[in-house]
Amino acid sequence: MNKVLHSYRPTVGSVTICAVTTLYLLLVTNWTFWTKAFGYLAKDHFAFILFAVGISAMSMAIITAFSAKYVTRIFLIFFIITASAASWFTDQFGVVVDREMIRNAAVSTGAEAGHLLTLRFATHLLMTGLLPSLVVVWVRVAHRPFLAKLGHNSAIIVGCIGIFALAAGSDYRTFAGVGRAHRDILDPLNPFFPISSAVRFIIDATQNAEVTAQPLGVDAHPTGLGPKPRVTVIVAGETARADDFSLGGYGRDTNPELRERGVVYFPNTTSCGTSTAVSIPCMFSVYPRRAYTHRKGLETENVLDVLTHANVSVSWFDNDTGSYHVTDRVAYEFLPSSADPRFCKDGECLDAILLDRMDSWLSTVKGDSVLILHQLGSHGPAYFSRYPNDFRRFVPDCRANDFGACSAQEIKNAYDNSILYTDHIVSQVIDKLKARSSTIAGSVIYLSDHGESLGEHGLYLHGAPYVFAPSQQTHVPFLVWIGDDLQRSGGFDMGCLDRNAALPNSHDNLFHSVLGLMDVSTKVYDPTLDIFAKCRRRGTNLADARWVSMAG
């Protein structure tokens, strides 16, 4: 049988198999790319034809460049498998596999990745990736002698580049205009964009491997000493979008408990990024979104470090995928590793584990302290696993990892149940601080890292490039609660906060607002970015306290 199969193996030239592979990749694994390009060029069909010819020629040039004896099959299979995997996430969720998405994937836990590895994904990879790769393995590939091959392949590559240049130049004004208006037009192009993104990620990771954070705010010191330790709990939310918070006007009552807790909700808040790997280090950094880069985040200390310089105790309890180097110099615990059967299953834990750990932490508080609770929150696609059965209020809810197995309404119901559970978690954090009001002066900040797409514009999940991201991925919930005694001793005017709550806010405010809330004075503090600064009595807010200190 093997001899029969071997005897029927066809022989194809190396350039021919490159051409067939190029055609296969463009037609089978680039549905989203062609759909988007056609939409952008819908008013000029001839321009779209030129675009298709140019992209096809350049793709052929790139793939032919890897046609070398002994390695042709390896590269072709690599291109096919990469395009197959990337096309699943691009076509199913509208996800762009860019550098930040790869950064997210690199730090994902096994449990998180497992939710994406569904039966439909495996079937897709088999049909569009593995089977075509077996065909590449099966056929014989004929190569010319080295010098003849070099000349022949070079002629093909130069010719293809020439066709690309001719197609682009034939209607340059149209392409230039579309390119400026839609800079994401090439982002879904498989496998080239994902591969180039991976290369950029590897280069960045290599260059940043030896980066050491430089000191920041070493002059920090407390200015507002009170009768009791000041304790702030920051709940770093995961994948909560403001559109589904009833505190901000959403039609469903997803915040029944927080509504009764006297919180101040800031309805116009935007995130620093659309993924956890970007937003978490950015929101705790001193850099505003427009100035922040991954490298800057690594080479500069953050607000947690500034707090420690002021002798504030800082701890971070993580129930998500990590702190992305934010906690490199403070106390850190990764709670899923406990595998506590009360909360955890298959490597992931309900956020109630944060409350359990917070109880024991509160018993140890002796001075001014900040605790960060990093939620698993509403991380998809397995929204149903983020909340216990008691919070299945919106039904029927999607009970599968694969959105293809659920209706749009079922997906929405499951997501809203996860928000309902976050409402409960944050409310319990507030209650725990209230219960200890005789010994501590408590406050809570809740701020989500990014939002989530639930089918709007054909997109699901998150991670879209920020410049093109829909508001559902960048509009995030933000709220604060300040205990009664801290309101009095710190001079906080809650009515003023309410009146100013609708003003635009962002992750840029967190760094300075935490310093203000904890009355930590330092040269890196900017009162214009402190949401509390305008709403504290004269002589009690941090900016005035620092001025009074300097004047005295």
User: Does the residue 268 lie in any domain?
Assistant: yes
* CATH code of residue 255: 3.40.720.10
Q: Does residue 95 lie in a domain region? A: yes
Q: What is the mean pLDDT of residues 425-431?
A: 98
Q: What are phi and psi of 96, to 5 degrees?
A: -95, 125
Same domain? 155 vs 12: yes
Same domain for 201 and 329, yes or no, is no
Tokens of 180: 């400026």
* Tokens 């054909």 belong to residue: 458
255 shares a domain with 125:
no
Tell whether 210 is covered by a domain.
Answer: no
User: Among the ranges 143-147, 203-207, 525-529, which has the highest mean pLDDT value?
Assistant: 525-529
- Residue where one domain finishes, among candidates 172, 205, 238: 205
Q: For residue 324, is pLDDT > 60?
A: yes
Q: What is the pLDDT of residue 539?
A: 52
User: Is residue 220, in this structure, part of any structural domain at all?
Assistant: no
| Residues 184, 42 within the same domain | yes
pLDDT at residue 233 in the model:
98
pLDDT of residue 546 exceeding 50: no
Tokens coding 273: 């990024």
- The per-residue pLDDT for range 109-139, each reduced to its tens digit, is 667 667 777 888 999 999 999 999 999 999 9
User: Within 13 Å of residue 246, how many CA atoms lie on the same side as its CB?
Assistant: 16
pLDDT digits (tens, 9 = 90+) for 238-289: 999 999 999 999 999 999 999 999 999 999 999 999 999 999 999 999 999 9
| Cα dihedral sign, 273-274-278-284 | positive
Separation CA 103–CA 86 (nearest Å)? 15
For residue 549, is pLDDT > 50? no
Distance of CA 46 to the CA centre of its chain: 38
Assess whether 252 and 339 both reside in one domain. Answer: yes
From residue 443, alpha-carbon distances to 22, 244, 262 in Å are 58, 24, 12
| Helix 276-283 × helix 99-106 angle, to 10° | 90
* Sequence-distant (≥ 6) Cβ neighbours of residue 367 within 8 angstroms: 229, 311, 312, 313
Helix (DSSP H) and strand (DSSP E) numbers for the chain:
22, 17
Same domain, 361 and 438: yes
**Residue 349, domain member (yes or no):** yes
Q: Residues 79, 201: one domain? A: yes
**Statement to judge: residues 192 and 274 lie in one domain:** no
- 196 & 303 share domain: no
| Spatial separation of the C-alpha atoms in residues 396 and 414, rounded to whole Å | 8
420 and 295 in one domain? yes
Cα 448 to Cα 280: distance, rounded to the nearest angstrom = 9
Residue 238: which of 266, 280, 209 has the closest Cα?
280
Q: 406 lies in a domain?
A: yes
- Is 540's pLDDT higher than 60? no
pLDDT at res. 7? 60
Q: Is residue 398 a part of any domain in this protein? A: yes
pLDDT in the model for residue 3 = 54
Show the domain range for 197.
2-205
503 domain residue, yes or no: yes
Proportion of the chain above pLDDT 70, given as a percent:
95
Q: What does the DSSP assignment read for 417-486?
A: HHHHHHHHHHHHHHHHHHHTTTT-EEEEEEEES---EESGGG-EES---GGG--HHHHB--EEEEE-HHH
| Cβ atoms 530, 322 nearer than 8 A | no
- Cα 258 to chain centroid distance, Å, stands at 26
CB 386 within 8 A of CB 452: no
Residues 513 and 431 in one domain: yes
Unique residue bearing structure tokens 């710190």: 490
Domain total of the chain: 2
pLDDT class of 541 with cuts at 50, 70, 90:
very low
SS3 at position 206: helix
259 and 378 assigned to the same domain: yes
